[in-house]
Structure 1
Amino acid sequence: MLSTIGKALYLIPRSSRDGLKEDIEKLDKKLRRIQATIEEVEHRNVHDEAVNLWLQELKCLASHAQDILDDYHYEMLQSQLEVKQAGKAILSGQVSGVEFNNAMLNHTSSSLLIEQIRKINGRFDEISRDREALQLTNEEGKKRGGASSINLSLSSHLMNKDDIFGRNDDKDKIIDLLLFGVLGDEESKDHLRVIPILGMGGIGKTTLAQMVYHDLSIKSSFDVMAWVCASPDFDIIRLTKEICEFVTGDSGNSFCGLSMIQQVLQEKLVGKKMFLVVDNVWNFQQNDWEMLFLPLRVAKLVRVLVTSRNEVATQSPFTVSPHRLDVLPEHECLKLLYHCAFGGKEIRKIQWSLDICRQIIKKCGGLPLVIKCIGRVLHCDTDKYHWREILDNELWESDELDPIFCALKVSYYHLPTKLRDCFLFCSLFPKGSQLRKTSIIYMWMAHGFLQPRGRKRAEDIGEEYLAELQMRSFIVPHTKGSFCLHDVIYDLARSLSGDEIHTIVSKKSSHVPDKIQHLYIKKGNNPCESFRPQLLRTLFDATQRPYDSFIDVQDIKLRVLGLIGPSVIALLEHSRLRHLRYLAIMEFNGKTLPESLCLLYHLQTLEITRCYCLSELPKTIANLVNLRYLYIAYVGIGELPVTLWKIKKLQMLRLKECYNLRMVPLGISDLADLHTLQVKSCKQLKELPADTGGLINLSVLDLSYSGIRTFPPSMVLLKSAKLVLVGLPDSVKKQLYLNLVDVYFTNLVQVIHSI
């Protein structure tokens, strides 16, 4: 049967149908005006409670308008699909034309939609009058700063030497402590020694540890070196696994359980000298150190460097007196600030810049992280008056913030307004989380933070935003394709997000504010019983729940949803998720997903991971007409449905560890917009479809650890100049490129002869 609004649109009188279409077009224009107004006011950073309340009301109105447009477009998509299916049914004789027409008589929902649109328009006119009353048409009101942009990290042993100033004395002291008893061949009395580096957030503990890790005397004194980041959860299995990966050089994905990992680690460490860095230690159980060090005891000797903000890192019985890191001296701060402000160029120091820099350094409290953030802001505009504006910003004097937050908040309010929501959203996930760039970009897209410009796709805009946030030190690259937030930056983001973002990591955090828009529930936790979400737009629930036990989201306009286990089915079968753009399904143990999944016509991203029993995708997956990103990892599917190739907007198809996948059907060349094709660790798959060469916009082909070693002849049609091949043996890659080049020159010669 046709959907209600869809019926109305097709069968109501033409004048009424045109009236509804006209109202929708007016609402779409109105929404763009609302969004432009929000951006304008946020850009000016007006510091006034009445203005902030007005801005919140305007945002709610924008959200409501977007919901109405979503409902309209959903009904249109559904009616188009149903008309198409009904037309086929009439042709086949399964449904008569009379029955088809009788299905399209109710116009009630259409009238309700028109009424809602007109209410939105009227409310916007009222809010516009409030804008004039608040004098937001001129430059009055207190401002918080101008507009600009920021860069950050979980941690890695890799470092940028150009960004390091000072700390050489600290490095030498740490190295002396580490090498005591290491250089001689005699048996050391201190078989295991732990050296803690203590200091406040942003003072440079991780940087100092990186300097030590890369020192030549350290590298030449130890047989084995490893770097792990504890972050707030001291996860023994994860940490031991990561140490094992450093020692063996292999990924520990095949290891099942702590005992197996420890056994492999022991076998590799017998008689060797080991250096280990455990960065960013927050807390742990009493026996955590003992469990972590247990497989290391077979080594000839072990030296462990630990970084932490508090004394918890000194509680190991193997710990020597901690090295307490002090703030950076003023002359080193000045070098660092100039380096960041002028991009490392040798600039003659002008007196006015020296004076302003010295005053800024005092306000930064000698903390390198804060100096870097402020330096990046100064870098965007080296005009004297801009620098003076940064120095005189009232946020430095805020009573509610400590000096670190004051400085970082200044940097935040110099971010372009378009980046602020993107940055704050990253703080939804627990502190220390490693965030995948691709997933974050598609979550931003789901919330409308990214809009395509000209020929640039929304995905390209997302990449630019990440690059700018990194340049401004708000995010820090971790591994390839991922990033994290420094703890201090994370705390800043959460303080700025107010009640809109909430993460439940324990019973203490189970109370959820009424205005919550983005919610993450860590495994094993639950929101309080009084939780009644109304404005929720993002929900990640990492707790396994029974089939009939899930958070009631019937009347919520979710845009992003991530779920684990059987609750996935309950939600898909019983909830109206028509606004959903991003869906992540994890650890579902069924063989098939419900067909109701394919009613999510607005869906842009579908991630299916660790669903080992899942053997097939829904046959009606082609109904997901807006799908742009499909990621399937650690899933038992044997082949992809041929209907998948009907999703014309698909940009990225990634298949990883699909251990039963043996067939990718013909027709993939229909995906004219596909940019990335990844078939990684799918060892049973021996060949690509014969028409793969028809992917005219393919720019990345990743076949790492797959069983594919030969290519269909059509591959020579791919444009070699833009194609990046990943994970292929050099011989195969070389041959493929040679084939591509041969075809290019053959075509060139033909063109020349024709001239």
Structure 2
Amino acid sequence: MATGVLTLVQKLGSLVTDEVNYLLEVKPEVESLHNELMLMTAYLKDADAMHNKCERVKEWVRQLRELAFQAEDAIDVFVYQVMQKRRDGFVWKFTKYPKLLIDAHNLRRKIEDIKVKIQKLSDLKPTLEIHPFEEGNSSAQAHQLGTSGDKNFPYIDVVGLQSEAEELANLLMQEAPLGRFSVVSITGMGGLGKTTLARKIYNRGDVKRHFDCQAWVYISKEYKMRDVLYKIIEQVMVLSEAEKVALASMEAGVLETRLSDFLKEKKNYLFVLDDIWATEDWDRLKGSFPVPRNNQQCRVLLTTRDEGVARYADPIASPHKLQLLDEDKSLELFLQVIFKSPVDRDAEASLNEEMKDLAKKMVAKCDRLPLAIVVLGGLLSTRRRTVVAWKNVVDSVNWYLDSSNCHKALALSYVELPSHLKPCFLYFGLLPEDTEIQRERMIRLWVAEGFLEPRGNLRMEDVGGECLEELMQRNLIQVAKWKSNGEPESFILHDLLLNLATSEARKGDWIKGGLEMLKGLRELRVLGGEDGLMDIFGEALYRALANLVSLEVLYLQDYGIGGLLPSFSGHAHLYEINIVGCINELPGLPWSLTKLRLACTHLMEDMMVTLEKLPNLKELILDWHPYEGVVMRCSATGFPKLENLTLLYFDWLKYWVVEEGAMPNLRILEMNRLFGLKWVPGGLKHITTLQKLTLVMPKEFLERIKEGGEDWQKIKHIPSIIPWEVEIPEINAQHLDDMENRWFTRTGEVIPDDH
């Protein structure tokens, strides 16, 4: 893909114009490289469109991407070295520091070498026979899709569902009791429209009026009961922000009790469980719902691909089984997607026989599956409505499909995406199945990854919004929730399209086989577990982690290998690390780190001694048993740039000492379930930047922070203070004093004073 090159072009452009000027004496060479790549980008987008059709073009694109990554790595390392010197106050006159002179000379040589190789690739262009996009598929036209001013995105309905929605809605609302739960099931293969039908029923006015409360939950293959219960509670109860924070960290049993108590007062309620995979899932979910009483009506609308699951949930009632569309319905849906407005409907009626024949040929390739029809129709909706333009798509369909295969029809929709949208779509493939993501969050992630190209005077956030609109219009992403003003609030990806995004991403050049071959990897997520894989591949992974010096984001869960991690202090690009699972000690961490999360690490030594020395750390999350100690200290010069700090569920921490001068830029602090903590650290009163303090703590602690309490003076300057009372678990209450005695005996420390 062209993504790596386009991203580097943007980065180089920013560096060349940066007033801080980290490039120093190599600026002319970097500017020259920037210009070379700029000349290649337009041609590269055309090459990217042929990426899947020609192996020679595919190899050409791969080599250019590899050169772009080499240049990015070399420049990043040099800028990092300059930043280190400036941080120490050393770089005043460049010529006085021989090491930087040598580094600059080496960078010049690398850039010149890369430019020579780029020129060789450029000389190959005429032999590749790469042709520009036809006008109907140009990036410029694609850009216009998002700037038309049309914010009322139509909801594409699967034709013929109205009568089915009516029938199932009446079944849900009938008064007769149907056992513990009245279960109405919708079954069928993926892409038939099960969720669409369920959503149509869920949003009906008569259904909303009939039920006192209702909730919709996506059930993924690897769902967590706590998350399911929290999502239901969030929809049926009115919660303050403090209550949401507290509930989000509660265990499933507590949430189940909270939900049961609330629903006792309701007459009727409806739960939609979307996409259940196994009978065991139904047993777990059913067991967590309160038993209806006093003529209550608890209705469950269930969607599943497995008819056996539906019959298991209710052995008496027959599941509603969706079928593939017939030829007429398939064509009707296809044209409905292409012609969305009343004006377009007139155009639809005037289609000549040749275009109708072309439409039938494309629909036939979708195997009558609604999802494939909608996605392929979305592709046609962006093209000019001419015979020539539609014939080009038919030719693409015939090339891409070896047989009548709807899944390959979905893949064609990706192949035909403009180059600027491909990385945006693939990024959805990083999400777990059935994950709903907020619009603003996805845009921020795209911006951080450098996927978005500047467009005139638009902010990058607006460019991201337009890209989402384009993907919506192509029906590659679905709106999960809408705002009251008619704009999307969050998105979700159908699992067939998620599989598409994942499979296309795997075709990228960063997977070359073997952990130790991933030299250019930027992001790595390692999800261990109890399947023994870490015992087999652990040593290779350890070596690979040490050598992946291009990493930018690292996520390690249940890593194993005896809790040992290699040092990351030489990973100059690494800005985010997440470690979940027990480790013996903190690894060496790079100065480039801006975000760190440690969860369930059970560290025995005070991690703050190491973490507070990270000069660029802005966000630190320590949660769920990160530390087994009793004393934790933040020194006067620690955490110079830290802005957000979360401390959650420390079992035995009693004394947190914050010296004056520590964390001078802290804005948000959360102290959550620090069950043994004696006091609010006195050093907080010196942090004038602190804007929000969340305290989810035992009653005795909260008494100290009330106005007039022992710790009130330490926090009274903070504009927003959110207290929430929780109980101390019995096991903690029993062993707090014993753990304190053991700690001071082992370490030889004395009980610290509050600062």
TM-score class, shorter-chain normalisation, is 0.5 to 0.7
**Structure 2 residue 565 is the aligned partner of structure 1 residue 550:** yes
Counterpart Cα distance in 2 of 1:68 and 1:667: 37
Q: Does 1:585 align with 2:597?
A: yes
Query: Superposition pairs for residues 61-460 of structure 1, below 5 Å?
Result: 61-83=67-89, 107-136=101-130, 163=157, 165-179=159-173, 182-184=174-176, 188=177, 190-250=179-239, 253-255=245-247, 256-270=250-264, 272-283=267-278, 285=280, 288-289=283-284, 292-298=287-293, 300-311=296-307, 313-314=309-310, 316-319=312-315, 320-346=317-343, 347-348=345-346, 349-352=349-352, 353-385=355-387, 387-389=389-391, 391-396=393-398, 398-399=400-401, 403-460=405-462
Mapped to 1, the partners of 2:306 and 2:633 lie a distance apart of 49
1:70: how far off? 1.2
Shift of 1:54: 1.9
Going from structure 1 to structure 2, the CA distance change for 1:567 and 1:366 (only over 3 Å counts) comes to same
Give the residue type in structure 1 aligned to 2:218.
Answer: C
Give the letter for the 2:588 counterpart.
Answer: H
Contact 2:192/2:323 (CA < 8 Å) preserved in 1? yes
CA distance in 2, matches of 1:403, 1:618: 65
Distance 1:583 1:619, change over 3 A: same
What is the Cα deviation at residue 682 of structure 1? 7.8
The change in CA–CA distance for 1:408 and 1:469 in structure 2 (over 3 A counts) is same
Q: Specify the alignment match of 2:12 in structure 1.
A: none
- Structure 1 residue 420: Cα displacement: 0.5
Is it true that 1:485 corresponds to 2:493 in the alignment? yes
TM-score by length of 1: 0.68
SS at match of 1:201: coil
CA distance in 2, matches of 1:370, 1:471: 14
Which amino acid counterpart does residue 561 of structure 1 have in structure 2? E
User: 1:433 is paired with a residue of what secondary structure?
Assistant: coil
- AA in 1 matched with 2:497: I
Matches within 5 A, 1:702-713: none
Q: Which residue of 1 aligns with 2:15?
A: none
Give deviations 1:186-205, integer Å, cap 9, x for gaps: xx352323222111222110
- 1:673 counterpart residue number: none
CA contact (8 A) 1:149 1:377 kept: no
Residue 418 of structure 1: how far off its partner (Å): 1.1
Question: Which one-letter code corresponds to 1:341 in the other structure?
Answer: I
- Using the alignment, how far apart are the partners of 1:220 and 1:563 within structure 2? 45
Identity, % of aligned positions: 22
Amino acid at match of 2:468: L
Taking the aligned partners of 1:227 and 1:125, their CA distance within structure 2 comes to: 56
List gaps (5 residues or longer) in structure 2. Answer: 1-22, 146-152, 484-488, 650-655, 673-679, 697-701, 707-718, 724-755
Q: Cα distance 1:546–1:49, how it changes in 2: closer, same or farther (>3 A)?
A: closer
Structure 1 residue 411: deviation in Å? 2.0
Look up the SS of the partner of 1:381 in the other structure.
Answer: coil
| Cα shift readout 1:329-388 (whole Å, capped 9, x = no counterpart) | 555544543443233234312223544333333333333333332333333233314641
Change (3 A) 1:46 1:224: closer
Structure 1 residues 371 and 26, CA gap change in structure 2 (3 angstroms): same
SS at match of 1:393: helix
Q: Secondary structure at the match of 1:265?
A: helix
**SS at structure 2 position matched to 1:60:** helix
In the TM superposition, what is the alpha-carbon distance from 1:520 to its structure 2 partner? 2.6
Alpha-carbon displacement from aligned partner over 1:60-99 (angstroms, at most 9, x marks no partner):
1101111111122222333333336x88xxxxxxxxx9xx
Partner amino acid, structure 2, of 1:519: L
For 1:574, the equivalent position in structure 2 comes to 588
Helix, strand or coil for the counterpart of 1:111? helix
8 Å Cα contact 1:234-1:281 kept in structure 2? no
Gaps of 5+ in 1: 1-16, 88-96, 152-158, 504-508, 625-629, 647-652, 669-677, 687-702, 708-755
Partner residue, 1:519: 524
Does the CA contact (< 8 Å) of 1:518 and 1:536 recur in 2?
yes
511-520 or 194-203, which moves further after superposition?
Answer: 511-520
Separation in 2, partners of 1:176, 1:48: 55
**Secondary structure at the residue paired with 2:274?**
strand
Cα deviation for residue 513 of structure 1 reads 8.0
Is the 8 Å Cα contact of residues 521 and 542 (structure 1) preserved in structure 2? yes
Q: TM-score, normalised by structure 2?
A: 0.68
- The number of residue pairs the alignment matches comes to 619
Tell me the alpha carbon deviations over residues 381-433 of structure 1, each in whole angstroms, 9 at most, x when there is no partner.
33314641454133455456863323222322332201111211221232223
Q: Distance in 2 between matches of 1:298 and 1:289?
A: 20
Whether the aligned pair in 2 keeps the contact of 1:656 and 1:680 (CA below 8 Å) is: yes
Say what the alpha-carbon RMSD is for the aligned residues: 4.9
Write out per-residue CA displacement over residues 8-27 of structure 1, whole angstroms, 9 at most, x where no aligned residue.
Answer: xxxxxxxxx98744333323
CA distance in 1, matches of 2:686, 2:279: 47
By how many angstroms is 1:51 displaced? 1.5
Contact map agreement 2:304 2:310 (CA 8 A) in 1: no
Counterparts in 2 of 1:600-615, with a 5 A limit? 606=619, 608=621, 610=623
Change (3 A) 1:65 1:127: same
CA 1:551 to 1:231, structure 2 compared with 1: closer, same or farther past 3 Å?
farther
Contact in 1 for aligned 2:421/2:467 (Cα 8 Å): yes
Is the CA contact (8 Å cut-off) linking 1:197 and 1:324 kept in structure 2? yes
Q: Using the TM superposition, name which of 335-344 and 410-419 deviates more.
A: 335-344
From 461, 464, 472, the equivalent of 1:462 is 464
> Counterparts of 1:461 and 1:559 in 2: how far apart (Å)?
26
Within 2, Cα distance between the matches of 1:490 and 1:196?
Answer: 24
Q: Which amino acid aligns with 1:478?
A: A
Shift of 1:484: 2.6
Indicate if the aligned counterparts of 1:642 and 1:666 stay in contact, CA closer than 8 A: no
Distance, in Å, in 1 between the alignment partners of 2:477 and 2:369 is: 17
SS at match of 1:432: coil
Deviations 1:460-506 (A, max 9, x none): 43333233323333223335754332111101111211254999xxx
Indicate the larger mover: 330-339 or 261-270.
330-339
Residue 83 of structure 1: SS of its match in structure 2?
Answer: coil
